[in-house]
Amino acid sequence: MTTTESTGAVRGGTDDDIIFELRDVSVSFDMERGESKVLDDVDLDIRRNEILGVVGESGSGKSMFAESLLDAVVRPGQLTGEITYYPEPGQPVNLLDLSDEELRQARWEEISLVFQGALDSFNPTISIRTHFKETLRAHNADVDAGMERARELISDLYMDPERVLDSYPHELSGGMKQRALVALSLVLEPEVLVMDEPTAALDLLMQRSILSLLQDLQDKYDLTMVFITHDLPLVSELCDRLAVMYAFEFAEIGPTEDILTDAAHPYTRLLLQTTPNLDLEPDEMRPIKGSSPDPISLPSGCRFHPRCPLADQQCREEDPDRDEFKPDREVACFHWEQAGQAVALSQEDSQGGDD
């Protein structure tokens, strides 16, 4: 594999064991109306063995971010920037410099991706067992040893291995198919598991069940996970950190508990207002006014300013950098210190809290 020198930089973190380092990563499509930039100069470090939640409204760029981590952006999309992967052990790898064959090996063996629709990921004409065997053979892995691992993974996910392996995709429920896909994604022992809305099509109880199982898998196999979702409360107990995406860039990043209880960006606080939680009265829940911007005609200045209650002339003219304002907390907002007063997260906040 092609290697690159590490910059040694760690943005906003106290843990410098980095497994992914993204710098100036963009995805663009040439459209008849102009250039559509659906990921815009993203900088982010992902820490080894953490579970990072990437949240935001639909159309904010989350799926493009997920596909970028595997250099899997579908043509004619153009992926640019630097994506450095730090295997353990091994030399740093610039994913965008890999040949097609090197990239094929890295996918599934090093970095695995689970999509939202499990059924769409399976060939309906072959059994689940055949899916596992074909994946192992495609990567020149020991099939017998791999199938033993498959049985262990399926068992870890609280399913009967032989029943699942002997089934065709249509013979499994939605939750079972999704768990079988998770097992398949881990059969080659990757270090990183990227999950793009993996529970969106499931009912609430099955969502909670799969999240609990993912936590168990992460603990057992020392995985790094990136969990993409529009449902912020869903991942509140799963993720170590949250990265909040708006208009194809990250607005705020920090530890999950800090984001949920003391979000700094007005968008994050408004996003929290749109979802049920025990601290927010039902009549305080409300949708965010306006809509996400068109990637071809992004607003000048801060991209959130047309919907932001704190927007002023500076916000309309200047694009704020994402800066560290507390240890392990980053936000891209000129007026983050006033966000708590402008957008209350609970009735207590609106009454001034402890002031």
How confident is the model at residue 9, as a pLDDT?
Answer: 35
Mean pLDDT lowest among 4-13, 156-165, 274-283, 303-312: 4-13
pLDDT higher than 60, residue 258: yes
pLDDT higher than 90, residue 289: no
Q: Is 296 left (phi over 0), alpha (psi -120 to 50) or beta?
A: alpha
Q: Would you tell me how many other CB atoms lie within 10 Å of the CB of residue 142?
A: 10
**How high is the mean pLDDT of the chain?**
87
What is the signed CA dihedral for 290, 296, 302, 304, rounded to 10 degrees?
20
pLDDT higher than 50, residue 262: yes
pLDDT band at 34 (very low <50, low <70, confident <90, very high): confident
C-alpha–C-alpha distance, residues 42 and 83, integer Å: 10
pLDDT band at 88 (very low <50, low <70, confident <90, very high): confident
Judge residue 353's burial from the number of C-beta atoms within 10 Å of its C-beta, 0-12 exposed, 13-18 middle, 19 or more buried: exposed
Specify whether the CB–CB gap between 109 and 190 falls below 8 A. yes
The pLDDT of 66-93, averaged and rounded, is: 92
- Read off the pLDDT of residues 170-197 as tens digits, 9 standing for 90 and up: 999 988 998 999 999 999 999 999 998 8
How confident is the model at residue 355, as a pLDDT?
Answer: 41
How confident is the model at residue 344, as a pLDDT?
Answer: 85
For residue 123, give Cα distances in angstroms to 117, 169, 170, 330.
Answer: 13, 8, 10, 42
The pLDDT of 146-157, averaged and rounded, is: 96
How confident is the model at residue 274, as a pLDDT?
Answer: 80
How confident is the model at residue 282, as a pLDDT?
Answer: 55
Mean pLDDT lowest among 42-46, 235-239, 259-263: 235-239
Cis preceding linkage at 76, omega within 30: yes
pLDDT band at 12 (very low <50, low <70, confident <90, very high): very low
pLDDT band at 1 (very low <50, low <70, confident <90, very high): very low
pLDDT higher than 60, residue 53: yes
Nearest CA to 339 out of 266, 252, 257 is that of: 266
DSSP string, 15-52: ---EEEEEEEEEEEEEETTEEEEEEEEEEEEEETT-EE
Integer Rg of the chain from CA: 21
How confident is the model at residue 144, as a pLDDT?
Answer: 98
Structural element, H or E, at residue 208:
helix 204-221
pLDDT higher than 80, residue 55: yes
How confident is the model at residue 118, as a pLDDT?
Answer: 59
